[in-house]
Structure 1
Amino acid sequence: MLNDFDKILADLDVEIDEIDLYGYGIIETSLSMVHRLQTVLNDLREKIQTYVFPSKEDEILFFKTQKPEILARLLFFYKIYRIEAQCPNGSNEVVRSYINRELDNLTYFFNRNLDFYQYYRSGSTVYDEYYFVRGKADLRLCTDSAQFDKDPNFSTGYDYKVAKIIANEMLRIYLNKRLQKLVNDNQIEDNLQRCLKYPLRFTGKKVFLIELGYSLVSSGDINNGNVEIKEMMNFLSTIFNIDLGDYYASYIAMKERKDRTAYLHCLIENLIKRMNEDDMK
């Protein structure tokens, strides 16, 4: 069971590491991860129904450390889904206030569960037998009342609270980075306005910029691949204050050339040359 769990968690984390938490599709992505993690958790639930832990220590390990890690990721993505789906449309200030309220809710949770939070984070094991062994919950320890609704074969009364602590710590990091992204987006918008007011000019041949535009669209790295050639050409025309004309005709001519990507090769050569010169300084 231990080896199986480690592999399950490692595979999940590989999937999670590939997710852009601050991308355009985070609502759909987070909901998809909720369904994915629910399936994993349900599979674990089925295995636990007939599994006999070799020792009390193994059972404590599972409910104190292992199960909460997966449950925490489920709670984390579900909370992201709720937060982003309910995020108000408005100014950055409105969004900032909304995120700060969510951060205040996290602070309230930690303050409300301070005793158990300190017990868990300190690495104490004094009450582990009551907290993390099934059927051992002592109500005098103020266990979470939610335990009455839990599957007694798959919950101890405190594994959920541990998962909540882990999830909320992950969520606090997420929300703080979300606030920083608002600041960065403001700076980008300000820079864009300055560029439009005092534009940079592309002084190379138009076909070079068209080649670059087609390359960016083809890469799939702009708006997660959701951008049309026309949108890209309009953007490049605006930002560089240049009329690209019949860019499709230029593209057709580009395909007829002996070196179809001459400008991209030139860019590579110039960048390598610059790097080499920097290395010699």
Structure 2
Amino acid sequence: MKNSLNYLLDDIKKVESVFVEGDCCLIDESYKLTTYLRKVLEDTKDKIFEEGFEDESEEINFFKNIKPQILGKLIFYNKVFRIETSCPVYNGKMYEAYFINELEELKQDFNEHIRNSDFYRYYRSGRNDKDNEYYTLGKINYHNGLSSIVFEIDSSFSTYYDYKVAKIIANELLYHYLLSKTDTDHTINQTLQNSESVKDLFWTDSKNSLIELIYALHASGAISHGKVSIRKINLAFFVLFKIHLGDIHHAFHRMKERTGSRTAFIDQLKLSLEDYMNKNL
């Protein structure tokens, strides 16, 4: 079973890339990945019950490195789905306040339940001297005052600490996702805002024009050989121009239904550049 477990995470990454690089909106994307990852976890559980582990090292590797990645992403995408389906209208103060509040709740949860725990320090330090205790079945010590979630897990498919690692992974993914939704002072944004060379840069055309440009850059492979997601390109323009574009996937699908030219902004760019070239002959 060792080989199939080793390839499991690679298969998940491939499936993720199909959705993330595609044109489906974030709600559809997170729902489909939640459904997919839940099925992967169920199938893996059945496979382990049927075949078992070859040795203790394989068991530790599974509960330390493999299952937490699957479960962590499952928790993450499910949370994204819940956040996106509950958020107010795009743009405006309510929209920004909603995601800022979600980010603050995430920080509070980290401070109260994760940051000061002995296990978190063990995990972050990369230690392995207690792996046998934390990542093998049947070692749950209730004298340690564990979270009540321990009574809800399947003890035949969880060591409890694999769930703890999954929660850490999910929180890290959520943190970066929420940063992309809020105008917070993380390193890149702060650097650009304080830079004399970019402080006077503003997007002065319509939001739809910028969305059209983002999709054109993605489709042409002009950025990172086309291997970077539309969401990341959107984030880059957000950081540069400090402009919220809302649900760009829905906006793009509306563009495809335009009467006349569906690439109005790109067409105008071509004409403007040709006129500029002619003036400088």
Question: What is the TM-score of this pair, normalised by structure 1?
Answer: 0.65
Are 1:162 and 2:165 counterparts? Answer: yes
Structure 1 distance, partners of 2:174, 2:22, is 13
Structure 2 distance, partners of 1:131, 1:146, is 16
Shift of 1:16: 1.4
* Structure 1 segment 91-240 matched on structure 2, within 5 A: 91-111=91-111, 112-114=113-115, 115=117, 116-179=119-182, 191-192=204-205, 223-224=252-253, 227-230=256-259, 232=261, 236=264
What count of residue pairs does the alignment treat as equivalent?
A: 217
Shift of 1:84: 0.6
Structure 1 distance, partners of 2:23, 2:86, is 16
CA spacing shift, 1:190–1:129, aligned 2, 3 Å: same
For 2:114, the aligned partner's letter is N
Q: Alpha-carbon deviations, 1:61-104, whole Å to 9, x = none?
A: 11111111111111111111011111112643222211111112
CA spacing shift, 1:69–1:137, aligned 2, 3 Å: same
**Which residue does 1:8 correspond to in 2?**
8
**Which residue does 1:31 correspond to in 2?**
31
The list of structure 1 runs, each at least 4 consecutive aligned residues, that deviate by more than 3 angstroms after superposition, is 18-24, 187-190
C-alpha RMSD of the superposition: 3.7
Structure 1 distance, partners of 2:134, 2:144, is 9
CA spacing shift, 1:145–1:125, aligned 2, 3 Å: farther
For 1:228, the aligned partner's letter is E
Range that drifts further, 56-65 or 123-132: 123-132
CA contact (8 A) 1:60 1:132 kept: yes
**Which residue does 2:225 correspond to in 1?**
none
Structure 2 distance, partners of 1:101, 1:192, is 30
CA spacing shift, 1:231–1:30, aligned 2, 3 Å: farther
The gaps in structure 1 that reach 5 residues or longer are: 197-215, 241-262, 275-281
CA spacing shift, 1:58–1:89, aligned 2, 3 Å: same
The gaps in structure 2 that reach 5 residues or longer are: 190-199, 210-215, 220-248
Are 1:69 and 2:98 counterparts? Answer: no
Percent identity of paired positions between Structure 1 and Structure 2:
33
* Structure 1 segment 78-97 matched on structure 2, within 5 A: 78-89=78-89, 91-97=91-97
Structure 2 distance, partners of 1:50, 1:92, is 53
Q: Alpha-carbon deviations, 1:165-214, whole Å to 9, x = none?
A: 00110111111122259x9xxx99961269x9xxxxxxxxxxxxxxxxxx
Indicate the structure (1 or 2) with the bigger Cα radius of gyration.
Answer: 1
Shift of 1:36: 0.7
* Matched position secondary structure for 2:204: helix
